[in-house]
């Protein structure tokens, strides 16, 4: 009997010791009450991001569907071999009759796009098409702009205030890329690229088209349903 009592006492002491050990460990990790200043310090890097997302509402903007998109039908020209502008010694076979190219981009992506769509054009097809397609000078400038051209962009070309204009945009991006004439109308046409931010309603770096900036801005306001661009 006494042995059983002693065993119970020793077991109780062991349990109490283990509980105290874990209790001390948990207290060591307790950081105590959190102040408003601590919360502010943690949240402060996040707040500017949230504010920026609220300010730039372009993600919820009604994106226009422009029906007169450019198309690039097959051309009756023999296939040509062109040299890569990136890899020395590399050549590609470009066929305008079937709108095909032997480069990796076309094999992996362009070949899946519809015949005549700009999504089918790799940089090599664009280069040869610009040379032989009989397109307007401003559309050729768009095709040859390897830095800013994106095959998935929406693309429109026409005239604004009697001056040729090409406009490219993509859903979810507040920046619109424009190409239009930049020199005197009495001279041979020269075109430049401009960029316009829809939410800020301003031209990048303060550069704007020389002849039709106001009309282009108002047209964008009609397209995107944004009243502040109309003022």
pLDDT score for 171: 80
Specify the long-range contacts of residues 212-215, CB closer than 8 Å, at least 24 apart: 212/160, 212/161, 212/163, 212/165, 212/180, 215/160, 215/161
Domain assignment of residue 151, given as a range? 57-71+137-231
Whether residue 46 is contained in a domain is answered as: no
Whether residue 34 is contained in a domain is answered as: no
pLDDT score for 85: 81
pLDDT at 42 over 60: no
pLDDT at 55 over 80: no
pLDDT score for 48: 37
Each residue of 153-194: pLDDT tens digit?
888 889 999 999 999 888 888 899 999 998 888 888 889 999
Percent with pLDDT over 70 in the chain: 70
pLDDT at 45 over 50: no
Give residue for tokens 């094999």: 107
The whole-chain average pLDDT of the chain stands at: 77
Mean pLDDT, residues 196-203 taken together: 92
Tell which wins on pLDDT, 35 or 8: 8
Q: What is the largest CA-CA distance in the chain?
A: 119
The tokens for 192 are 């430049």
Mean pLDDT, residues 113-133 taken together: 92
Q: Judge if 81 and 177 occupy the same domain.
A: no
Q: Judge if 182 and 145 occupy the same domain.
A: yes
Tell which wins on pLDDT, 128 or 52: 128
- Return the half-sphere exposure (C-beta side, CA atoms, 13 A cut-off) of residue 196: 23
H/E stretch holding 196 reads: strand 191-197
Name the pTM for this structure: 0.67
Whether residue 123 is contained in a domain is answered as: yes
Q: Judge if 197 and 183 occupy the same domain.
A: yes
Tell which wins on pLDDT, 45 or 184: 184
Q: Judge if 119 and 67 occupy the same domain.
A: no
Tell which wins on pLDDT, 177 or 22: 177
pLDDT score for 40: 42
- Give the N- to C-terminal CA distance of the chain in Å, as an integer: 98
Whether residue 214 is contained in a domain is answered as: yes
């Amino acid at each position: 009997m006494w042995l059983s009592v002693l065993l119970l006492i020793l077991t109780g002491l062991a349990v109490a010791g283990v509980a105290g050990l874990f209790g001390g460990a948990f207290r060591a990790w307790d950081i105590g009450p959190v102040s408003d200043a601590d919360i502010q310090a943690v949240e402060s890097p996040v707040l500017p991001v949230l504010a920026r997302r609220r300010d730039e509402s372009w993600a919820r903007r009604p994106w226009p569907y422009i029906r007169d998109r450019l198309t690039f039908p097959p051309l009756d020209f023999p296939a040509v071999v062109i040299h890569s502008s990136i890899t020395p010694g590399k050549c590609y076979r470009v066929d305008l009759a079937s709108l095909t190219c032997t480069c990796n981009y076309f094999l992996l992506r362009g070949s899946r796009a519809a015949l005549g769509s700009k999504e089918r054009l790799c940089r090599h097809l664009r280069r040869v098409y610009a040379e032989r397609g009989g397109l307007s000078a401003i559309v050729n400038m768009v095709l040859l702009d390897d830095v800013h051209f994106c095959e998935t962009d929406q693309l429109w070309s026409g005239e604004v205030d009697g001056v040729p204009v090409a406009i490219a945009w993509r859903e979810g991006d507040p920046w619109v890329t424009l190409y239009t004439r930049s020199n005197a109308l009495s001279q041979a046409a020269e075109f430049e690229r401009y960029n316009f931010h829809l939410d800020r309603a301003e031209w990048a770096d303060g550069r704007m088209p020389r002849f039709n900036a106001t009309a282009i801005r108002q047209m964008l306001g009609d397209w995107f349903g944004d009243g502040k661009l109309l003022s």
